[in-house]
Chains A and B, each alone.
Chain A
């Protein structure tokens, strides 16, 4: 009961039950049929096997007997006892076969057959065979024949025949079995077909059952559901007593239908309510749209404000910023026109204005309404009637609203002013405060630009300073990257074509670029060492390299710079020391030469002195040695003088006592002096004049000609003519000194007057010298206002040409004779040192001035009241008077009549600044060359001009 409930409650269980029953039925049936079939076959095979075995045994028995009979016959016929023995031996095998038959026999006939065979065997082997054998051995052949002819033979044959028949009976039995098998099998097939038909019938029944119990109710449900969905009534025909799912479904369905009907009524009521609500929502939506529109407007405003801020913070170009400020502000405010103008600079930007309007606005900015902005520092607005040009086609009165807006800096100073106008729409207070906030934003931006400009100009200044420096400078960071570089470094390494030159290159890039242009391969190593020592703050390590192309010698040193954030930077300075290097080279060569040149005469002096002291010598030899010592000592002196001259020249301390000198006698005497030193040379002096006066130092000029003439001799070792020519034109005196000696190679000529330079070729090696003579010559010639050139043909000789500015004879004549009234200048000398006063007076008289001398300032001032001088020479420390030089100067400069008179201060006090501030014309610090005084006085008076000229009576 419970089990039937179990199945009744579930459709799936019912279906599974039905299908399982069907399957079990099928399986059982098939299994039984299969078993029957197997059994049948098995029986058949067993039967057949027994029969075949029997047949085989019988046939064997038959064959064996035949063989026995044959052997016996053979024994009898041929008296072969072997055959007899063989026949007897078979008895045992035959009996065994027969016993097999006995074992297998199944029915009575077979058992009787077996008995027959046993009987025959007993008969044959028990009676007949022993009989035959006994007879045969006894020779009773007839007996044997009788035996054969009697029933024995018959019995034997009958036995054989029976046996044969039994075998064939078995064959028949086999055939019969086959027929029976096939009959059985066909019966079995019939049973199988019947079974299948029965199975199909069962399946059909099950399907019908399922359809009736499940399918039909489902169709009913679906139909009913459609009906209900379509809103119609529906009835379900399902047995309400069913307990399976469909039963439950029908109950639920019924309930659902009822509840749907109930709810539908509720929904109709709700719907009405919803329609009312919808109306309300429509009203709300409208309200929201209005708010949204407001928000959109606000957002637009914010966007524009952002745009303004973005655009002004986006560029550092002032013009651009101002332009975008005025445009964005106009958009933001809704203004039709506007302007922004910086207060301290001439920079502005306008929108919607003509140039004339702009110019007028800027011109009257200080006096117009704008002024109010400077005072209140607050925005204000102005309502005014529209101008005629603003009105367009409107006829009635319209208004414009102007907004004046100051841009205040962080220090509350008016940086810029802005003015905007809009038509027909006033500004609210809220607007104003918003605009002021924007103005603050703008102010920040303007300040940023200001700062940027200041930094930029600072940066440019720094770069300019760097570029102005003669040294190549580079700055690298801790990774060796080039951060900064000046133009000089770029040009040293031929990087002018690059915009940034070497800036930004990595360590490997720039260092290899440099190394490529530098001779030798030690540059990189030295560079690293220098930087390392700078970084480790060790002793500065500089190094020197040589450029491949220009052969410049450069010296590099490194210094580290610690920036604020502790980042380490290194500055490298490349200094061109080519000149110093060359001078150094020359100097060390010079030292070597000097040492050699000095040692040779010294060796002679010392050597001969030693001989004189230690040896007994003949008087003429003593004389010769002394003469040699004297000559060599002189040579030493000359050499030392040359060195000293050069030393003075180099330090700029060479002094010249310049006078008007006649070159003619100087040259004449020099030639005479040189003649003594040579017998190989012939001197020719050709002069177009008897007098050639120039302004120079006589002893120095003598040195010039001595050097030049001794060179002529020295460099023409084979003798020849040395020709000296002197000529002049109104401006200049020309002297030429020509020899017929070795000449100078062309490439040596440009260097000829360099200090320490010596023409280097094998011919000149024999000629000693310091390389100073010509340098000294050039220096003196230049100091005398002249110049010297050289022409030479190598191997033929050289011509040195000198040119000096000529001094006009007439002037000189008067000068030398002391007649100086022509100049007609009156000079007062105020000096309390009598001897110095005398010296100055003589010098000035020499130069052609009238001179009056006073030992005190007050005396001089007294005198000047009667006659004002043209110039005053004034000492400051005047011990004999209560007035010192400063007070004399003040007195003079304070006096209208004397203040134009030039005062030449001549004092031991080195207070030039005070002197010049009180109005001194020139300030000479004692001791000085008196000639210098007359020179400056002459220069001043002549350049002041007028007075002197007027006073000159011709």
Chain B
């Protein structure tokens, strides 16, 4: 069973992703803002962290910085979700250290495919 952390402030989108993933036997922890996500990351080692870009307390980018700075337990793959779809924004996100990027609105089934691919790779 693979563990996934989902940090997303929109409850509806959280529900969408969690419903999709839990049908496929992933264990998903949900965080509604940056702080919650950081708390989880300090307690648990995840196979994949899904981060929203725009989140209260810490943005997705700020969380990546903290992960890279070693404030959390071990290294996990990071997938960033963002409504900011311009090329330069994507570039910024990938440069900051995200491993994958997915644009909002996204297809939940494609997201699932991607996640399975990432997790199996690892």
Q: Which of B25-74 contact A (CB under 8 A)?
A: 33, 54-57
Given contacts A608-B16, A632-B12, A762-B56, A600 and B104 within 8 Å (CB-CB): yes
When distances are taken between beta carbons in the complex, the residues of chain B under 8 Å from A600 are 10, 13, 83, 104
B105 to A, closest residue via Cβ:
A603
When distances are taken between beta carbons in the complex, the residues of chain A under 8 Å from B106 are 603, 607
Pick out which of these stretches binds chain B: A82-90, A158-166, A591-599.
Answer: A591-599
When distances are taken between beta carbons in the complex, the residues of chain B under 8 Å from A608 are 16
When distances are taken between beta carbons in the complex, the residues of chain A under 8 Å from B12 are 601, 604, 628, 631-632
A620 interface hit (Cβ, 8 Å): no
B96 interface hit (Cβ, 8 Å): no
C-alpha spacing A614/B107, complex, angstroms: 11
Contact flags A758-802 to B (C-beta < 8 A → 1, else 0): 000011011000000000000000000000000000000000000
C-alpha spacing A766/B107, complex, angstroms: 24
B84 interface hit (Cβ, 8 Å): yes
When distances are taken between beta carbons in the complex, the residues of chain A under 8 Å from B20 are 611
B119 interface hit (Cβ, 8 Å): no
Are B16 and A611 interface neighbours, CB within 8 A?
A: yes
From B16, B23, B55, B108, contact of A765 by CB (8 A): B55
Are B105 and A606 interface neighbours, CB within 8 A?
A: yes
A636 to chain B, nearest CB (A): 11
When distances are taken between beta carbons in the complex, the residues of chain B under 8 Å from A602 are 104-105
B9 to A, closest residue via Cβ:
A766
From A604, A610, A631, A762, contact of B13 by CB (8 A): A604
C-alpha spacing A499/B15, complex, angstroms: 72
When distances are taken between beta carbons in the complex, the residues of chain A under 8 Å from B85 are 595
When distances are taken between beta carbons in the complex, the residues of chain A under 8 Å from B10 are 600, 604
Are A611 and B108 interface neighbours, CB within 8 A?
A: yes
When distances are taken between beta carbons in the complex, the residues of chain A under 8 Å from B108 are 607, 610-611
B83 to chain A, nearest CB (A): 4
A628 to chain B, nearest CB (A): 6
C-alpha spacing A738/B18, complex, angstroms: 37
How many of chain B's residues touch chain A, expressed as a range? 20 to 34
A495 to chain B, nearest CB (A): 42
When distances are taken between beta carbons in the complex, the residues of chain B under 8 Å from A762 are 56-57
**Most chain B CB within a 10 A radius of its CB, from A628, A762, A765:** A765
Given contacts A595-B83, A611-B20, A611-B108, A603 and B57 within 8 Å (CB-CB): no
B99 interface hit (Cβ, 8 Å): no
B61 to chain A, nearest CB (A): 13
A598 to B, closest residue via Cβ:
B83
B88 to chain A, nearest CB (A): 12
C-alpha spacing A611/B108, complex, angstroms: 7
B91 interface hit (Cβ, 8 Å): no
A599 to B, closest residue via Cβ:
B83
When distances are taken between beta carbons in the complex, the residues of chain A under 8 Å from B19 are 611, 621
Given contacts A611-B20, A628-B15, A766-B33, A596 and B107 within 8 Å (CB-CB): no
Q: Which of A601-642 contact B (CB under 8 A)?
A: 601-608, 610-611, 614-615, 621, 628, 631-632
A601 to B, closest residue via Cβ:
B12
Q: Which of B1-25 contact A (CB under 8 A)?
A: 9-10, 12-13, 15-16, 19-20, 23
When distances are taken between beta carbons in the complex, the residues of chain B under 8 Å from A611 are 16, 19-20, 108-109
Contact flags A360-388 to B (C-beta < 8 A → 1, else 0): 00000000000000000000000000000
Given contacts A628-B12, A766-B56, A614 and B105 within 8 Å (CB-CB): no
C-alpha spacing A671/B40, complex, angstroms: 39
**Most chain B CB within a 10 A radius of its CB, from A601, A614, A621, A766:** A766
When distances are taken between beta carbons in the complex, the residues of chain A under 8 Å from B57 are 762, 765-766
From B33, B56, B83, B107, contact of A606 by CB (8 A): B107
When distances are taken between beta carbons in the complex, the residues of chain A under 8 Å from B9 are 766
Given contacts A610-B109, A766-B9, A604 and B16 within 8 Å (CB-CB): yes
C-alpha spacing A599/B56, complex, angstroms: 17
Q: Which of A578-596 contact B (CB under 8 A)?
A: 592, 595-596
C-alpha spacing A763/B35, complex, angstroms: 12
A613 to B, closest residue via Cβ:
B109
B93 to chain A, nearest CB (A): 14
A570 to chain B, nearest CB (A): 37
**Most chain A CB within a 10 A radius of its CB, from B54, B83, B107, B109:** B83
**Most chain B CB within a 10 A radius of its CB, from A604, A607, A614, A765:** A607
Are A603 and B13 interface neighbours, CB within 8 A?
A: yes
A629 to B, closest residue via Cβ:
B12
- What 18 new A-B contacts, CB under 8 Å, besides A602-B104, A607-B108? A595-B83, A596-B84, A599-B83, A599-B105, A601-B12, A603-B16, A603-B83, A605-B105, A606-B107, A607-B16, A607-B105, A611-B16, A614-B109, A628-B15, A631-B12, A762-B57, A766-B33, A766-B57
**A-B CB contact pairs (8 Å), 28 listed:** A595-B85, A596-B54, A596-B84, A599-B104, A600-B83, A602-B104, A602-B105, A603-B13, A603-B16, A603-B104, A603-B105, A604-B10, A604-B13, A605-B105, A606-B105, A606-B107, A607-B16, A607-B108, A610-B109, A611-B16, A621-B19, A631-B12, A762-B56, A763-B56, A765-B54, A765-B55, A765-B56, A766-B33
Interface residues of B (CB under 8 A from A): 9-10, 12-13, 15-16, 19-20, 23, 33, 54-57, 83-85, 104-109
Question: Which 9 pairs show the lowest CB-CB distances between chains A and B?
Answer: A603-B105, A766-B56, A599-B83, A765-B56, A596-B83, A607-B16, A604-B12, A599-B104, A602-B105
